[in-house]
A and B are shown apart, each in its own frame.
Chain A
Amino acid sequence: MPDGRLMLEPSDQRMYGFVRSAWAPLIVVGLLIVLFSLGYGIYTSTLVADYFSNSKAVREAAGPGSQIVNQQVFFESTFAWLPGFKFFGMGLLFAGIVAALAIIILTLKGSGAQIQQMMGAEVRAMPRPLISRAYPWLAILGLLILAVAFGVSIYQAVVAASYWNNSIANTLDPAPAGSQFLAQLSTIESIEAWNVPLKFVGIATLLTSISFALFTIQSVLRGQSMRLLEMVEARGKKPAA
């Protein structure tokens, strides 16, 4: 019995080798990132609870280098980078699903070629619709968008750490217009406003890739049904031996 994988086109064979080895690491690393984010979030919550056990006057008067300010620097910067990291982990999980769907698509294609050969018919490759070419690239694009969003989150965390490493009452609240502190606050808030939607664009791109992979599976199944019918029809037309 011929090996279905060997009957794939060379580009599909290369893709099969890649997705076969990549799907499990993508899912494991994605899951580890999400679990790490959970653990880190729980640890951060203890610091937040400790910080808010102080009165407002004490919190706002605390100066740079004090434990209270250090706590605020830690959790404000964590709030900036941790969601970006978590979304990147989710992105890896979705990319793992796309890779698993690619294995199904390529296995179906290989088995289709195998059936044609076993039935003594000419082995014809299925036409490749645009969506079947697009889904791997959409998965890569989605992951890239999430990586960029994570990179921006790290920059936002650095700015947030620098901004909050000051006394609220003595430095941040009285900051005059055009000061470095207000520029930092403006940067933090504006990044927050566009970077969160960017993460959702990344996730939506990955989900679109999953949808396209599913449409491809459907197209492959329908194409194979049509080819089987063609084979039956061709056999019926053959003169009896």
Chain B
Amino acid sequence: MKILAFDTAARACSAALFEDGRILASRLREMERGQAEVLLDVVQEVLAEAGASFAGLDRLATTLGPGSFTGLRVGLAAARGLALAGDLPVVGVTTFEAVAHGVTAVEREGRLLLVALDTKRGDLYVQAFDSTLTPLAEGEVLAPAACARFEGEGPLLIVGDGASLLREVFGQNSRAVRWSEAPGHPEAAVIARLAAAREPSPALRPIYLRPPEARLPDG
């Protein structure tokens, strides 16, 4: 089963082609913005490197969020467009899962994994996983200080592009808290592996975790 996975939810654009337990080709470009201009070229590079074509794909996979609203739209519009174009099933993976599964089992052992993603608005998208990578609660938006409560739940391993916002909250020297060496952003190769073991999503709905900013008129 050939799976094409890609991600544009955070500060990168990545794509990977996966078949029979291995990655045939992958690309990751770190970028703050501009994913819309490179995604399809990156995808085509990956297919070309693997000697594959769109017509030979069996499944697509991408990130559902949370993340940059713009990044989510770029990735999900492309996924929905490709799915429609090729009548392909799509597996949606949360950004939390994608980041969590990028952490090695050795690092995670005996620790609660806290995925903290930078919302770029001063707070964090947060979700905690146990050492088997089962989520312990729904993802949520939290101020950095509000994350202190996780310290009471056991030894922590923190990962994600928002991890740096928690340095002050937990302190550099806290023995109960460790900082993961993992990249902390979603990678298409990880998403592809996850997608191979899952059922396709019936509807590819974005996870924003934040309502649109809009104010009702007075009165």
Q: Are A and B subunits of one complex?
A: no
Q: Which of B's residues lie within 8 Å of A, judged by CB? A: none
